Structure 1
Amino acid sequence: MLEVRRLRLLSEFARRGSIAATASALGYTPSAVSQQLAALERETRVALLDRTARSAELTDAGRRLAERAEQILTLVEEAEAELSAEADAPTGRVVVTAFPTAAVAFAPALARSLGDHPGLTFVLRQTRPSDGIRQVQSGEVDIALVDDWTGKLADQSPAALKFFHLRTDPLVLAVPASHPMSDPQRAVDLQELREEPWMAAPPGEPSRQAVERLLDTVGGARPVPWEFEGLHTILSLVARGIGITAIPALALAAGDRGVAVRDIPGVTLAREVFAVTRAASVRRPSVAVTMRAIYAAAQEVSAARTEPGE
């Protein structure tokens, strides 16, 4: 009989493409992964991996079994979810991963809400959206909070994942509280701000691309932004009067008294924020109650924004 644990290793190997990456993702040593996959080959009496001195890849039989393994693992999780749905209260451990601004914005509301469930252990980690989706798919985490600037993320993701829309997060202008544009009675004019010291995330980051698209709307050569890792770092510099920025509104949830926020007329640049989980795990009480808490946290953060320009 095939072991579910070994099938999970094979499925993960099919996604990662190497023994080392599989071991790193699941918390094993490369030697342990190799030994377990070899044991799976002995169980099936079929060569599943084509090994060389430096690498390994799936054989045709290995690819077919990896596809079946995905189906089997989904069925196992659905069975576990049906059994746990009989429980009166959510229990166990739920691991959520989030992009940094969502983690900071949602954490207070989640802590308050999930504190009503003493049998539930809640873990919140920060990671990149692409890593979060991969970790949900592999079973490393239960829920991922991800952002999408393209409008295509949900359509391009595996069918085994379920996306729940939480909010639209628009790009807003953030200036020092002492800046003339902090006056809500004054019209926001991007042309007037072109020569200001702009700050943004490094090239390649979605928020940086949004800033560049914003500056493109005023034509001509756009100013070169100062680059800093982390939206909260950028906001702290805005508060100190060092420069200005355009930033997703969710990044302002932590609050900064030295920053004034203005909507940008005529600009529709925004990202969509989703909670992603495996479709098979939605019925688990622990996941269901956490999803409800996440949705409530997203609405609370949305309602709490009352800065100038709203």
Structure 2
Amino acid sequence: MLEVRRLRLLCEFARRGSIAATASALGYTPSAVSQQLAALEREAGVPLLDRTARSAELTDAGRRLVDRAEEILTLVEAAETELSAQADMPSGRVVVTAFPTAAVAFAPVLVQSLADHPELTFVLRQTRPGDGIRQVSGGEVDIALVDDWSGNLPERIPATLELFRLRRDPVVLVVPGDHRLADPERPVDLRELRDEPWMAAPPGESSRQAVERLLETVGGARNMPWEFEGLHTILSLVARGIGITAVPALALAAGDHGLVVRAIPGCTLAREVYAVTRAASVRRPSVAVTLRAIYTAARDAWPAPPGDRPRADGP
């Protein structure tokens, strides 16, 4: 008899590519992972991994079992969802992972919304860009809050996952309170800002690429002397008068004092914010109530873009 937890471990190994990476992702020791995979091989009666002194990779039989294991794990989750749907109230543990600005912006409303469900244990983690969908697919988390600058994320989502659009998050200009553009009557003209000390994330990050695309429309910034990891660090420095920046509006939800936010005329740069979960778990009461709370948080998080609110009824 094949043990379900070991099947999940095998699928994680297939995604990670090594025993060490699998152990790190799941919080096990490499020795424990190796022992569990060896036990699964004994259950299967065939070699599933081709091991050398320094590495391991799936055999043909291992790859075939991974394909079947993904189907089995989906069916198991569907069965658990059907059973838990009979419960009177949401209960158990729900793990949500989010990109940093969504975690900060949504957390206060999530706590308020879920406080009425004492049997529910809610866990919110921050994650690196690109990890959320993989974590949901692998069963590490129940829901991921992800952002998409490309506009084509819905076409890239596998059929085993379900995607819920939460809101559009436009790029806005942020200046210190004593900046000339702190005056709301003064029009914003990016060409007049090319010589300003711009602050941005390191090259390659999505928010940095957005700033660069924005400034390309006026010939590029002449001066980009400041690079910092983390939008909240950048905003705290702008509040101190060190420079100016452009960020997705959700980054301002923490309410940094000393900042003035201006819309950028003609700017269409924005990211879409989504919640992603496994299709088999959508009807599970604990996941369903958390998704509804996430919709409320997305609707109420400042600033809410007028005319672009999520569906009132949620998923």
Same fold (TM over 0.5): yes
1:152 paired with 2:152, answer: yes
Could you tell me how far apart the structure 1 residues matched to 2:74 and 2:221 are?
Answer: 52
Could you tell me how far apart the structure 2 residues matched to 1:108 and 1:77 are?
Answer: 29
Corresponding residue for residue 21 of structure 2? 21
Could you tell me how far apart the structure 2 residues matched to 1:305 and 1:176 are?
Answer: 22
Corresponding residue for residue 244 of structure 1? 244
Could you tell me how far apart the structure 1 residues matched to 2:154 and 2:223 are?
Answer: 33
How far did 1:40 drift? 1.3
How far did 1:171 drift? 0.3
Corresponding residue for residue 293 of structure 1? 293
Task: Name the aligned partner's letter for residue 155 of structure 2.
Answer: D
TM-score by length of 2: 0.94
How far did 1:266 drift? 0.7
> Which 5+ residue runs of structure 1 have no aligned equivalent?
none
Corresponding residue for residue 267 of structure 1? 267
1:133 paired with 2:133, answer: yes
Corresponding residue for residue 57 of structure 1? 57
Could you tell me how far apart the structure 2 residues matched to 1:296 and 1:83 are?
Answer: 27
How far did 1:221 drift? 5.8
Task: Name the aligned partner's letter for residue 176 of structure 1.
Answer: P
How far did 1:159 drift? 2.4
Could you tell me how far apart the structure 1 residues matched to 2:202 and 2:40 are?
Answer: 44
How far did 1:160 drift? 1.4
Call closer, same or farther: CA 1:221–1:297 in 2, change over 3 Å: closer
8 Å CA contact retained: 1:253, 1:305: no
> Which 5+ residue runs of structure 2 have no aligned equivalent?
307-315
Corresponding residue for residue 86 of structure 1? 86
What's the CA shift string for 1:226-278, capped at 9, x where partnerless?
Answer: 10111111111111111000000001111123011011011100011111111
Could you tell me how far apart the structure 1 residues matched to 2:220 and 2:249 are?
Answer: 27
Task: Name the aligned partner's letter for residue 192 of structure 1.
Answer: E
Call closer, same or farther: CA 1:221–1:246 in 2, change over 3 Å: closer
Task: Name the aligned partner's letter for residue 150 of structure 1.
Answer: S
8 Å CA contact retained: 1:129, 1:145: no
Corresponding residue for residue 218 of structure 1? 218
How far did 1:305 drift? 7.3
1:191 paired with 2:191, answer: yes
Corresponding residue for residue 181 of structure 1? 181
8 Å CA contact retained: 1:215, 1:222: no
Task: Name the aligned partner's letter for residue 204 of structure 1.
Answer: G
Corresponding residue for residue 309 of structure 2? none
1:113 paired with 2:126, answer: no
How far did 1:38 drift? 1.3
How many percent identity over aligned positions? 80
How far did 1:152 drift? 2.4
Call closer, same or farther: CA 1:42–1:215 in 2, change over 3 Å: same
Call closer, same or farther: CA 1:34–1:236 in 2, change over 3 Å: same
TM-score by length of 1: 0.95
What's the CA shift string for 1:113-165, capped at 9, x where partnerless?
Answer: 00011111111111113122221111111111111111123322332121111
Call closer, same or farther: CA 1:155–1:304 in 2, change over 3 Å: closer
Could you tell me how far apart the structure 1 residues matched to 2:263 and 2:59 are?
Answer: 55
How far did 1:303 drift? 5.6
Task: Name the aligned partner's letter for residue 122 of structure 1.
Answer: F
Could you say what secondary structure the match of 2:255 adopts?
coil
What's the CA shift string for 1:87-114, capped at 9, x where partnerless?
Answer: 0100011111111111110011001000
Q: Aligned Cα RMSD in Å?
A: 1.4
How far did 1:225 drift? 4.4
Task: Name the aligned partner's letter for residue 106 of structure 1.
Answer: F
Task: Name the aligned partner's letter for residue 144 of structure 1.
Answer: A
1:206 paired with 2:210, answer: no
Call closer, same or farther: CA 1:68–1:222 in 2, change over 3 Å: farther
Corresponding residue for residue 254 of structure 1? 254
